[in-house]
Amino acid sequence: MAFRTTLVKRSLKTGFLDRLSTSKFSTVSAAPSASPATEPPKLPPFDYEPRPYNGPIADEVLRKRKQFLGPSIFHYYQNPVNIVEGKMQYLFDESGRRYLDAIAGVVTISCGHCHPDVLNAVIEQSKLLQHATTIYLHHAIADFAEALASKMPGNLKVVYFVNSGTEANELAMMMARLYTGNLGMISLRNAYHGGSSAALGLTALSTWKYSMPEGEIHHVINPDPYRGVFGSDAHQYAKDLQDHIDYGTSGKVAGFIAETIQGAGGAVELAPGYLKLVYEIVRKAGGVCIADEVQSAFGRTGSHYWGFETQGVVPDIVTMAKGIGNGLPLGAVVTTPEIANVLAHKIQFNTFGGNPVCSAGGLAVLKVLDKEKRQEHCAEVGSHLLGRLRALQERHDIIGDVRGRGLMVGIELVTDRQLKVPAKAEFAVLHESLKDLGVLVGKGGLHGNVLRVKPPMCFTKDDADFLVDALDYAISKL
């Protein structure tokens, strides 16, 4: 084990070419590819020339970060990439090298980097009025709210704008408690719902949490078809939630919150039918049901516009952020008039929520996604990507699971398929190798062994092929 660890550390430091000859540490049997690549794959052609960059180089930027930013601010890669420009699904570093952005600024770039329609809306609004709060009238926030509400099912017609997904989930939790008169909130293990002190209570991944009071928040068994104790049996997971209400609460709860496809948890899709069963249980216990759509909204799943629709439910409150603004600091909470009314008893105010620039940009995002038919695109390209990844899984034992929908995909790496032992060291090497090949992917899961592929929604089949070929090539060199 000491020899294996030493080689892993060395491989992370000496670069991809050195790794090709020294990385014999893996305990995983990597079956040879049906068509083994002898040369690294090449990025698809892209008709765009980045501007010459004359700013600080990576070493200088990193030095300043270490000096002036908090030590909790982390970065990917042993030699961090200094990203200076972006265009659609690609990013460019200080040297002008192009990378395929397969994580979209952590699932935030929906339309594409610097999409001209979104840029134009933001620029034109900035020329007229950069900021005015809701104490005055301005058409941008009203127009955006109207457009967003039109996308919602049922009676989800009242919109609150905030600045992030964390804020959205905190506001939703406050609404649930005020509306029901109860305190207890239920979320799933392996969930991530934000980084504030309150939202971290809803989060159930130890890697994100601090030792601090959480207050009346309960975490039930995650209905994970791959790692869950009940496999894909939604009824058993729902029974666990009912037991938790019966034994762990007063019998009454304020609400239940869940992502339909867990993001930071590693692109875990909930067992089919789970939310329909659980929503009924929670509502009988006096609670409301909250869908966290921060990562799975706006057609990214391909099959549906909203992630919760894949489970055939209509929540009482929906939270969203990230892709709603294509990079703007923007989030929203949408609920029913009845629930929204509880906030009218006191002053409820957000200085920047729905400011003119963000509202104009957010409205442009909705229009672009419709005009360019991005939901249908995600379905088509995502199906192609998943098909190729599952074929790759058959050739490489290190791939324990391929999962997801549309362009929200997770690839879980293991050292033993039967025991599902997380391939943490191997993941670190592959993550670096993919960067060296020109692919930037995310990482997720409690053990950091899941490759998260959630690119801008303009990602093409050629991009998907390049990503899979790069992964195939990198695994073949382990």
Phi, psi of 106 (to 5 degrees): 60, 60
Give the residues across from 87 on adjacent strands: 90
pLDDT per residue as tens digits for the range 84-143? 999 999 999 999 999 999 999 999 999 999 999 999 999 999 999 999 999 999 999 999
* Helix, strand, or coil (residue 73): coil
User: For residues 405 and 302, is the Cβ–Cβ distance under 8 A?
Assistant: yes
Pairing of strands 255-259, 185-188: parallel
Average pLDDT of 316-321? Answer: 98
Q: Cβ distance 333 to 175 under 8 Å?
A: yes
- Across the range 74-84, mean pLDDT stands at 96
Share of the chain above pLDDT 70, in %: 92
| Phi and psi angles of residue 152, each rounded to the nearest 5 degrees, phi first | -95, 145
The helix (H) or strand (E) run that includes residue 158 is: strand 158-162
pLDDT tens profile 14-67: 333 333 333 333 334 333 345 556 789 999 999 999 999 999 999 999 999 999
Q: Are strands 317-320 and 331-335 parallel, antiparallel or unpaired?
A: antiparallel
Please give the backbone phi and psi of residue 220, each rounded to the nearest 5 degrees, phi first.
-100, 170
**Residue 426 has which token pair?**
């191997």
Yes or no: say if 256 and 278 are a contact pair by the CB < 8 Å rule: yes
What value does the mean pLDDT take over residues 326-339? 98
Write down the residue that tokens 């060291």 correspond to: 425
Q: What is the reported pLDDT for 214?
A: 87
Position 215 confidence tier, pLDDT thresholds 50, 70, 90: confident
Encode 141-174: b = buried (16+ Cβ within 10 Å), e = exposed: beebbebbeebbeeebbbbbbbbbbbbbbbbbbb
Q: Can you list the positions of beta strands (E) in 311-407?
A: 317-320, 331-335, 399-405
For position 35, what pLDDT does the model report?
56
Question: Phi and psi at residue 306, in whole multiples of 5°?
Answer: -115, 140
Compare 1 and 181 and report the one with higher pLDDT.
181
d(CA 20, CA 477): 5
pLDDT tens per residue across span 454-468: 999 999 999 999 999
Where is pLDDT greater, at 38 or 243? 243
**In this structure, what token pair is assigned to residue 223?**
């209905």
Give me the sheet containing 90-93, strands edge to edge. 83-87, 90-93, 98-101, 439-440
d(C-alpha 196, C-alpha 194), whole Å: 6
Closest Cα to residue 111, out of 377, 312, 311, 338? 377
Residue range 257-268, pLDDT digits in tens: 999 999 999 999
Least confident window among 8-12, 41-45, 180-184: 8-12
DSSP 32: P
Torsion of the alpha carbons at 171, 457, 475 and 225, rounded to the nearest 10: 50
CA 270 to CA 268: how far, in whole Å? 6
The tally of CA atoms less than 13 A away on the side-chain side of residue 44 is 16
Q: What is the pLDDT of residue 415?
A: 98
Residue 463, CA atoms < 13 Å, CB-side half-sphere: 25
Yes or no: say if 277 and 305 are a contact pair by the CB < 8 Å rule: no
Would you say the C-alpha torsion 195, 400, 220, 263 has a positive or negative sign? positive
